[in-house]
């Protein structure tokens, strides 16, 4: 999950790369570094350190050679450590001999390669990456041909990689090659550039292409080339970003997370509006044929984290509204559960980044066994998007904060449309019922806006749980599904050990953990479950817990006498997940920001998990 960038062009490389690393820092922020070339001395100078990009900038201010300030070619890296601790030495770039490179991924046979190429004496770090540099340098020493050395290296390394490489004798040229780990690239008047994802490329242009796997990219100042492993030229498949340029800045908010929470009404609206025609779900703009739903009779959602939580909501709705069973699998577990997969299986892969390797592997596993595959994805051109038979793209724009917010609600909005589409193609609902359903969906952006208007009330609630070490979130049915996501948000940005629990299950053990120091967040939006939910809330309160009850407005009458409540704007029960999600996102955000944490970059996390 590291951030990688390479640039060769007319601008000063140090500025382009450092700025790009700041934009990519959400992919990993244990350490940062860059290498600069193209200077007269023909040396490639490396500057790197443990810490953030800001620490790298300070290092550059102190130590950068004068001639490097004029360098116009370089590579950069922000690291999420996989091999070797967080140290200056283990930071990327790494150099062995004439080869300098950065890497995102995991080389599985780096120990064998260290022996085979007798690299022990040459290595300074504990990383698998430095071993690749050593192997490349060994091959380059034989031929002094960069592309030949790369091809030879690709034949011996095993694992996932995005390698961005510089050779001392080619100071204005950058080479790159990938397997699974992503690299996108572009060419503009300012030069040639590549990066782990589009966020860093919006600076110069909205055109880009994905470097195909096992294809060598050769970037020059005013041209770029793609070569197959046997040396044949390949044309890039150019795409256009559907993001506004520079939409990757904070827009005046202190953190991206707050910006992205506030973007949700617009992003949900944008995601829905192009898929509704005359009130009926229509995926023709996505070129998704109805047969993907008609010809399948069992549905599995495979995803991770927040994306998986959308599957829990989808499962609840499918059972309740379509009388249709849906399996929801943690993508990292999917293939190890020996799932029953066939040509009647529809695998729905939900992923913001489209690069989560666990989810990608699940898609490949299901496809190999004949399943139809549908992606619900935010990033065009991503690996999972390219792997799936069909993709519904969320129109959320770049999501930079590690904690996923607008991706969740836009993924949900597409899954709600899938519910309506299945109901139509399977003949379960008439058009009138479908329209009633979509009319409620179209109201969700406004309900989220209403929650945003009440954010100060939620901020006050947040202040009451700042000191908590443990916290329970309790609810039933759809509320329990929504709380799984609310609990993850709080956990990952505030470090409070929050646990979502089915309210009725607490008394079977976990209630033993309830004390006066254990705040409880309860969610009640399902009319039919209110009485039971209130009984469970009384149970935990009688054991000393302080409880805040998020409750649907229409169900809240009189409850303020007995409980500390936050009212959520009314929608039909099945749609209350949207306002509830926004309220719980705000709760997590305010707890984290009031605790003084870097909300966008929580410890130990990275935005995209490209290691299994």
Q: d(Cα 159, Cα 572) in Å, to the nearest integer?
A: 48
Pairing of strands 159-167, 174-179: antiparallel
Instruction: Give the residue, chosen from 30, 197, 260, 492, that forms a contact with ligand AGP under the rule CB under 6 A.
Output: 492
First CA to last CA across the chain, in angstroms? Answer: 11
Helix ranges (H only) for 443-557 are 444-453, 455-463, 478-494, 530-541
Check binding of 403 to ligand AGP (CB under 6 A): yes
Instruction: Single out the residue of 74, 93, 134, 305 in contact with ligand AGP (rule: CB under 6 A).
Output: 305
CA dist., res. 16 & res. 193, Å (int): 10
Query: Residue 497: which of 527, 470, 517, 522 has the closest Cα?
Result: 470
330 or 425: CB nearest ligand AGP: 330
The only residue of 296, 404, 525, 592 in contact with ligand AGP, by rule CB under 6 A? 404
List the catalytic residue out of 48, 270, 406, 607. Answer: 607
Active site residue 2: yes
374 binds ligand AGP (CB under 6 A): no
Using the rule CB under 6 A, is 192 a contact of ligand AGP? no
Q: How far is the CB of 319 from ligand AGP (least distance, A)?
A: 23
Distance, in Å, from the CA atom of 232 to the CA atom of 542, rounded to the nearest integer, reads 73
Strand arrangement, sheet containing 3-9: 45-50, 31-37, 73-79, 3-9, 191-195, 184-188, 207-210, 239-240
Size of the site for ligand AGP (CB under 6 A): 15
Task: Please select the residue that binds ligand AGP; options are 153, 352, 395, 494, rule is CB under 6 A.
Answer: 352
Give min distance, CB of 355 to ligand AGP, in A: 7
Contacts of 415 (CB under 8 A, 6+ apart): 310, 311, 313, 314, 317, 348, 350, 376
CB 221 within 8 A of CB 193: no
- If one asks whether residue 307 binds ligand AGP (CB under 6 A), the answer comes out as yes
- 99 versus 402: smaller Cβ distance to ligand AGP: 402
Which is closer to ligand AGP, CB of 23 or CB of 402?
Answer: 402
The rounded distance, in Å, linking the Cα atoms of 146 and 167 is 7
Residue nearest ligand AGP (C-beta atom): 305
Min dist CB 366 to ligand AGP, Å, is: 16
Q: For the chain, how long is the longest CA-to-CA vector?
A: 82
Which of 160, 262, 316, 351 is close enough to bind ligand AGP by CB under 6 A?
A: 351
What the block records as the tokens of 260 is: 């992205």
Closest distance to ligand AGP from the beta carbon of 175 (Å): 28
Choice between 402 and 462, CB closer to ligand AGP: 402
* 148 part of the active site: no
Q: Which is nearer to ligand AGP, 71 or 606 (CB)?
A: 606
Query: Residue 484 interacts with ligand AGP (CB under 6 A)?
Result: no
Of 611, 62, 609, the residue nearest 304 (C-alpha): 609
In this chain, which stretch among 176-184, 397-405, 441-449, 543-551 interacts with ligand AGP, using CB under 6 A? 397-405
Contact by Cβ (8 Å): 329, 300: yes
Beta carbon of residue 402, minimum distance to ligand AGP (angstroms, whole number): 5
Tokens matching residue 5:
């960038």
HSE toward the beta carbon, residue 117, CA cutoff 13 A: 26
Can you tell me which of 306, 316, 525, 526 binds ligand AGP, judged by CB under 6 A?
A: 306
| 202/356 with CB nearer ligand AGP | 356
Closer CB to ligand AGP, residue 16 or residue 304? Answer: 304
Residues labelled catalytic: 2, 607
Interface residues with ligand AGP (CB under 6 A) are: 304-307, 351-353, 356, 359, 402-404, 492, 608-609
């Amino acid at each position: 999950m590291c951030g990688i960038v390479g640039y060769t062009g007319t601008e000063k490389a140090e500025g382009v790369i450092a700025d790009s690393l700041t934009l990519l820092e959400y992919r990993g922020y244990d350490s940062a570094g860059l290498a600069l070339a193209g200077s007269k001395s023909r040396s490639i100078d490396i500057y790197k350190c443990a810490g953030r990009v800001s620490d790298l900038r300070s290092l550059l201010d102190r130590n950068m050679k004068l001639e490097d300030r004029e360098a116009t070619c370089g590579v950069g890296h922000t690291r999420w450590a996989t091999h070797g601790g967080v140290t200056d030495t283990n930071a990327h770039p790494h150099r062995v001999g004439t080869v300098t490179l950065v890497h995102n991924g995991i080389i599985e046979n780096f120990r064998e390669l260290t022996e085979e190429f007798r690299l022990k004496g040459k290595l300074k770090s504990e990383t698998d990456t430095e071993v690749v540099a050593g192997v490349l340098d060994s091959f380059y020493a034989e031929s002094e041909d960069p592309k030949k050395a790369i091809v030879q290296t690709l034949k011996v390394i095993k694992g996932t990689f995005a390698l961005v490489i510089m050779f001392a004798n080619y100071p204005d040229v950058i080479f790159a090659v990938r397997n699974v780990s992503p690299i996108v690239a572009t060419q503009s008047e300012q030069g040639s550039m590549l990066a782990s994802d589009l966020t860093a490329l919006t600076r110069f242009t909205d055109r880009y292409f994905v470097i195909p796997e096992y294809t060598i990219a050769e970037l020059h100042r005013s041209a770029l080339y793609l070569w197959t492993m046997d040396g044949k030229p390949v044309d890039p498949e150019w795409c256009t970003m559907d993001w506004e340029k520079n939409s990757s800045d904070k827009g005046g908010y202190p953190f991206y997370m707050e910006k992205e929470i506030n973007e949700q009404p617009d992003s949900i609206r944008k995601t829905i509006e192009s898929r509704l025609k005359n009130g009926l779900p229509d995926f023709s703009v996505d070129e998704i044929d109805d047969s993907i739903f008609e010809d399948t009779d069992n549905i599995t959602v495979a995803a991770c984290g927040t994306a998986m939580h959308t599957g829990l909501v989808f499962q609840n709705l499918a059972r309740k509204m379509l009388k249709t069973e849906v399996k929801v699998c943690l993508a990292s577990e999917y293939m190890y559960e020996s799932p029953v997969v066939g040509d009647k299986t529809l695998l729905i892969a939900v992923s913001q980044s489209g690069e989560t390797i666990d989810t990608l592997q699940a898609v490949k596993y299901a496809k190999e066994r004949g399943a139809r595959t549908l992606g619900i994805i935010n990033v065009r051109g991503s690996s999972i998007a390219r792997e799936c038979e069909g993709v519904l793209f969320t129109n959320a724009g770049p999501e930079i904060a590690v904690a996923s917010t607008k991706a969740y609600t836009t993924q949900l909005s597409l899954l709600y449309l899938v519910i309506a589409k299945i109901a139509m193609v399977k003949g379960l609902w008439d058009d009138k019922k479908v329209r009633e359903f979509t009319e409620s969906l179209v109201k969700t952006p406004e309900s989220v806006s209403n929650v945003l208007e009440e954010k100060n009330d939620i901020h006050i609630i947040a202040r009451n749980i700042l000191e908590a070490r443990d916290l329970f979130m309790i609810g039933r049915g759809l509320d329990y599904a929504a709380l799984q996501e609310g609990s993850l948000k709080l956990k990952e940005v505030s470090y409070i050990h929050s646990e979502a629990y089915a309210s009725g299950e607490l008394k079977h053990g976990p209630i033993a953990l309830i004390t006066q120091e254990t705040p409880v967040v309860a969610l009640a939006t399902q009319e039919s479950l209110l009485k039971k939910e209130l009984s469970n809330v009384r149970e935990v309160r009688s054991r000393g817990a302080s409880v805040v009850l998020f409750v649907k407005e229409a169900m809240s009458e009189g409850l303020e006498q007995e409980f500390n409540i936050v009212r959520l704007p009314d929608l039909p029960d099945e749609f209350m997940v949207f306002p509830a999600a926004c309220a719980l996102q705000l709760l997590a955000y305010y707890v984290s920001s009031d605790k003084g944490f870097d909300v966008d970059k929580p410890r130990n996390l990275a935005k995209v998990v490209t290691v299994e």
